[in-house]
C-alpha cells in the first residue's frame, strides 16, 4: 500500500512538472491572440527594398532606349508603320524620319 501511495505521488509530480506552463510560454502574444493586425503582418519586409524596386522601374520608364523611342515615333505615323511591317522599324524610321535635319 505504501508503494502505491509513493508511485501515485510520483506520477502526480511528473504530470505537474510536464504540464506546467511557464511565464515564458505566456509571453508570446500568439497564445492569447493568434492573429496579427494588418500593420504588423508585413513588418518583416524591408520598406527600402520595395521602394528601390519601384524607383528603378520608374527610371527605366523615363529613360527609353533610342530604338524604342524610334519605334514609338514610327507607330504614331501610319505610313511609317505600314513600311515597318515589310522592312522593319529601323528601316522605316530611317526612311521617314532619318533625313530630317535641323539647322
Cell output for 85? 511591317
One digit per residue, pLDDT tens: the chain, 103 residues? 889 899 999 998 888 777 766 656 555 555 566 676 766 766 666 566 667 777 777 776 677 788 888 888 888 889 999 999 999 988 999 999 887 655 5
- Kindly state whether residue 4 falls inside one of the protein's structural domains: no
Q: How many Cβ atoms sit within 10 Å of the Cβ of residue 90?
A: 14
Rounded Cα distance, 68 and 72, in Å: 6
The pLDDT value given to residue 84: 92
**Whole-structure pTM value:** 0.39
Rounded Cα distance, 5 and 39, in Å: 55
| Number of helices followed by number of strands (H, E) in the chain | 8, 0
Question: How many structural domains is the chain composed of?
Answer: 1
| Domain range for 91 | 65-102
- Kindly state whether residue 35 falls inside one of the protein's structural domains: no
Question: Reduced to 3 states, what is the DSSP secondary structure of residue 46?
Answer: coil
Amino acid at each position: 500500500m505504501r508503494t502505491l501511495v509513493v508511485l501515485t505521488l510520483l506520477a502526480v509530480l511528473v504530470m505537474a512538472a510536464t504540464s506546467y506552463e511557464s511565464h515564458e510560454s505566456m509571453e508570446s502574444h500568439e497564445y492569447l491572440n493568434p492573429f496579427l493586425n494588418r500593420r504588423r503582418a508585413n513588418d518583416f519586409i524591408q520598406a527600402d527594398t520595395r521602394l528601390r524596386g519601384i524607383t528603378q522601374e520608374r527610371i527605366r520608364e523615363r529613360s527609353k532606349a533610342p530604338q524604342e523611342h524610334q519605334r514609338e515615333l514610327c507607330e504614331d505615323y501610319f505610313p511609317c508603320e505600314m513600311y515597318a511591317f515589310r522592312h522593319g522599324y529601323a528601316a522605316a524610321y530611317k526612311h521617314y524620319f532619318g533625313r530630317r535635319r535641323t539647322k
